[in-house]
Amino acid sequence: MSEDIPFDKSLPLVPDTADEVVPGVRRVMADNPGPFTFKGTMSYILGKGNVAIIDPGPDDPAHIGALLDAVRGETVTHIFVTHTHRDHSPATPTLKRETGATVYAEGPHRAARPLHIGEHNPLDASGDRDFMPDVRLKDGEVVSGDGWSLEAVATPGHTANHMAYALKDKSLLFAGDHVMAWSTSIVAPPDGAMSDYMASLNKLAARSETVYLPGHGPAIKDAPRFVNYYILHRKAREASILHRLGKGETDIPTIVRAIYIGIDPRLTGAAGLSVLAHMEDLVARGVIETDGEPAIDGIYRLAG
């Protein structure tokens, strides 16, 4: 799927080993490969001497040990979290206890919308509901450390609390799971929302950062072009869904089979939720209709 985006899957990294990805930024990849995480979650170390860690990663002693090894002899003053999926934030309490750093993030895990009556949240297991930052950041707030300043860039969509961080004067953005070089981002209701996600993409498209360091996969070196591909991909996906509805297909499983050709079977559930995310957005915009709230097992048709 998504052959329209020029993905980069070259990532010759050894898990839990630090390397310098760009001058002044090291990364340590957790050993948690999978269909949603690619080769593993990236934790970043910003600065030298007094440093910040962006995304501590999963609650894996080997990964936490590798991060602490990488900063031995240095002081971790700040921990930033992009979002509260279980591959990004659960190592935070241990890392905070070991370093005394202050934890910054948008806020605790939450869904983008309330559950509908009778709906269960298929994403319950993926959220880190124990996470609570010391300092809650708002869009545009700047936090400064020793030789660096990070601007919080609210980017809801993948999760409601997703925050990217722009390194001031360096044209660099820690992009979390909002934009990645190896795959499209998962936008799955109720935790994620397509209207928010598209607004966040358009917001990034209007910014000036040229290099993105994502939560999974290699650095993105031509970020404005890449964000544009992401936007075009979502518009194409929406057009495909409308095309299938126009042909008389009405339900999400049939549409997933028609438009996600050759998908990894482990991703079929996520693909269904991604189509649901588009359906929610299209219903809200009055382009399509359904009976009651948009649901994964709902019947959809073009509006009127």
Shortest Cβ 177–Zn ion spacing (Å): 4
Q: Is residue 177 at the binding interface for Zn ion, with CB under 5 A as the rule?
A: yes
Q: Is residue 85 at the binding interface for Zn ion, with CB under 5 A as the rule?
A: yes
Minimum CB distance to Zn ion smaller for 128 or for 209: 128
Binding mask 34-73 for Zn ion (x = CB under 5 A): ----------------------------------------
Q: Is 11 exposed, middle or buried (0-12, 13-18, 19+ CB in 10 A)?
A: middle
Total of chain residues touching Zn ion, rule CB under 5 A: 2
Handedness of CA 115, 271, 164, 70 (dihedral sign): positive
Shortest Cβ 159–Zn ion spacing (Å): 6
Minimum CB distance to Zn ion smaller for 87 or for 209: 87
Shortest Cβ 157–Zn ion spacing (Å): 11
Q: Is residue 216 at the binding interface for Zn ion, with CB under 5 A as the rule?
A: no
Minimum CB distance to Zn ion smaller for 78 or for 83: 83
Secondary structure, 3-state, 9-60: CCCCCCCCCCEEEECCEEEEECCCCECCCECCEEEEEECCCEEEEECCCCCC
Shortest Cβ 55–Zn ion spacing (Å): 10
Shortest Cβ 82–Zn ion spacing (Å): 8
Instruction: State how far the Cα of 235 lies from the Cα of 302, in Å rounded to an integer.
Output: 17
Q: Is residue 209 at the binding interface for Zn ion, with CB under 5 A as the rule?
A: no
* Contact indicator for 81, 131 with CB cutoff of 8 Å: yes
Question: In whole angstroms, how far apart are CA 285 and each of 22, 140, 204, 280, 303?
Answer: 42, 28, 22, 9, 10
The one segment of 25-33, 48-56, 78-86, 187-195 that binds Zn ion by CB under 5 A: 78-86
The one segment of 83-91, 200-208, 228-236, 256-264 that binds Zn ion by CB under 5 A: 83-91
Minimum CB distance to Zn ion smaller for 151 or for 177: 177
The set of long-range contacts for 96-102, using a CB threshold of 8 Å and a minimum separation of 24, is 98/64, 98/68, 99/68, 99/71, 99/75, 100/76, 101/52, 101/53, 101/76, 101/77, 102/77, 102/78, 102/134, 102/135
Q: Is residue 281 at the binding interface for Zn ion, with CB under 5 A as the rule?
A: no
The one segment of 69-77, 130-138, 172-180, 254-262 that binds Zn ion by CB under 5 A: 172-180
Q: Rule CB under 5 A: which residues touch Zn ion?
A: 85, 177
